[in-house]
Homo-oligomer: A and B are copies of this chain.
Amino acid sequence: MPPLMVSHATFGPRPEAVPAVDVAGEFETIARLLRPLAHPDYARNLSDDVAVLPSRPGHDLVLTKDALVESVHFLPDDPLDTVAQKLLRVNLSDLAAKGAEPFGYLLACHWSDRCGWPEREAFASGLAADQKTFGIHLLGGDTVVTPGPLSLSATLLGWVPEGTAPRRAGARPGDAVYVTGTIGDGWLGLEAARGRLALAPDRVGALAEHYRRPVPRLEFGKAVRGMVSAMMDISDGLVADARHIAQASGVGLALDLEVVPLSAAAHAWFDIRIDPEAAMERLVTGGDDYELLLTAPERDEAALRREADRLRLRLTRIGRVVAGTGVEARYLGNRLDVGAGGWVHGG
């Protein structure tokens, strides 16, 4: 553990004379790796204490902040370019669920001992790639060293037209429930990345890629924000997040797990399970999917499908909103008991 010293490595020039932990490293990290990523107008070239952002009349600013810790949220041997991308994407997924158009982020890097120049360069290259993919820029932040594991947080900012960001709280009895994409690839991807899946290498690779670099559904979120009654991204697992909508909206959600969409790789895994109920439970409670879960009135189904088709995105109706509370998830005639874990047969 390094000695305690003064080291507020806020983005901004940092002279050699300051008695701080690895300040030269933080200074060079900012100058060489982060400044090229800065927003051209609002980041003050990362040489002030702040970012200054003009208001955008008629729009709301959407803010989200997620943190990742090595060995807790990503694997110690995950390449750092993908860790940077995962950091941005788990946050971008929150913006997607609110129909927001992302434009920038602030970043806090707590570098561990193992983060030398090659690791920091890989991290910055991952940021650069996703800045291009998603049209965002770095606005500011902080870079410090830690005696602990590599830890990261990002605050993502996006705009939506005033009053249009969907809530979790708007689901009404009679609404249909949908998910985008496929479910379970996040959990399977973690298993794949840990070398625990006995599947063909291309399946393992596709799943690990999904775990490391999920795809936030930004375009779909923007397209449907005016049609949905509730929307959120699936980060804790389909069933858990359905409960979040149920709880926030004061309703129940009835899910038919037989129609839950699986990827080809997930099918390859699922089809050789000897206990399909246990396997399905894993897929719908595993988390890290970063698909969108939404509810909408019946009358909007055709419009939702048009937007999904236009974006070539799978959209699956998996249930309905009912009066009551909580989630009733059924599969092969049995009911998943989320609280206790496991299945209530014939329940």
Binding site for B on A (CB under 8 A): 1-2, 4-8, 10, 12-21, 44, 47-67, 69, 71-75, 90, 94-95, 97-98, 100, 106-108, 110, 112, 139-142, 144-149, 151, 153, 155, 157, 160, 162, 165, 167-169, 186-187, 190, 194, 232-233, 235-237, 239-240, 243-244, 247-248, 285-288, 338-339, 341
Contacts and interface: CB of A to CB of B under 8 A. Distances in A.
A146 B69 contact: yes
A184 to B, nearest CB: 12
A53 B158 CA distance: 10
B72 A63 contact: no
Which of the listed residues A49, A60, A62, A244 has the most CB atoms from chain B within 10 Å of its own CB? A49
B66 A190 contact: no
A287 B72 contact: no
A13 B244 contact: yes
Closest 5 CB pairs of A and B: A148-B148, A6-B287, A49-B94, A108-B153, A55-B55
Contacts of A65: 106-108, 140-142, 155
Contacts of A90: 8
Contacts of A139: 63
